[in-house]
């Protein structure tokens, strides 16, 4: 009787344990790292005007590092280095750390942003959505710039 109950319990557990190593590569390939493309609003939370926004992320231990690309026009792209953290609830906090000007442009750094995003992994439609706001010393200033962000995970062409 005891052996029969043990076999009924252990069979599914053993099956899952054997499949677990096979599931790990699938989780990594569709994960957080890589290229994200979408849009960002620049004129506040209610603004419907959007510009193209891209984010490229990699992990360094528990931290996230990467670059953001804000396409203000066909010939003007603002590139920033970003750093941040992924939390256990799949929320992300990122902040612009360094402006990367185009070589020889002499362009000054625009304002820096911080991002609060929600990572939503899925088999079909992995996405991130959230908000950004300007980094200023006045936390509650009405002049502080902010907006919304919507991003979709792009497939890695090397793995397709």
Reported as type and span, the H/E element at residue 7 is helix 2-29
Q: Is residue 111 part of a domain?
A: yes
Q: Given this model, what pLDDT does residue 38 score? A: 97
Is the Cα torsion angle 26, 61, 34, 148 positive or negative in sign? Answer: positive
Residue 95: count other Cβ atoms within 10 Å of its Cβ: 16
pLDDT of residue 34: 95
- Supply the range of the domain harboring residue 42: 32-153
Mean pLDDT of 56-84: 92
How many separate domains does the chain show?
A: 1
* Region of poorest pLDDT, from 17-21, 42-46, 62-66, 123-127: 17-21
| Whole-number pLDDT of residue 143 | 83
Quick check: is 73 in a domain?
yes
Residue 6 within any structural domain of the chain = no
Q: Identify whether 62 is part of a domain.
A: yes
Compare 139 and 36 and report the one with higher pLDDT.
Answer: 36
Q: Tell me: the pLDDT tens digits for 101-144?
A: 877 666 777 889 999 999 999 988 899 999 999 998 887 888 88
pLDDT tens digits along 79-95? 999 999 999 999 999 99
DSSP string, 39-67: EEESS-TT---EEEEEEEEEEETTEEEEE
């Amino acid at each position: 009787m005891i052996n029969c109950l043990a076999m009924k319990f252990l069979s599914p557990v053993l099956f899952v344990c054997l499949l677990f190593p096979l599931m790990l590569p699938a989780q990594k390939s569709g994960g957080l790292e890589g290229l994200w493309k979408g849009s960002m609003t620049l004129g506040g939370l209610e603004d419907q005007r959007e510009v193209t926004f891209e984010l490229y992320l990699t992990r360094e231990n528990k931290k996230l590092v990467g670059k953001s690309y804000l396409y203000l026009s066909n010939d003007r792209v603002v590139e920033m280095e970003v750093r941040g953290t992924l939390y256990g609830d799949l929320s992300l906090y990122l902040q612009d750390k360094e402006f990367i000007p185009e070589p020889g442009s002499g362009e000054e750094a625009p304002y820096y942003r911080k991002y609060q995003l929600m990572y939503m992994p899925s088999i079909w439609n992995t996405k991130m959505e959230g908000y950004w706001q300007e980094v200023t010393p006045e936390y509650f200033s009405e002049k502080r710039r902010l907006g919304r962000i919507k991003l979709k995970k792009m497939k890695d062409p090397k793995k397709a």
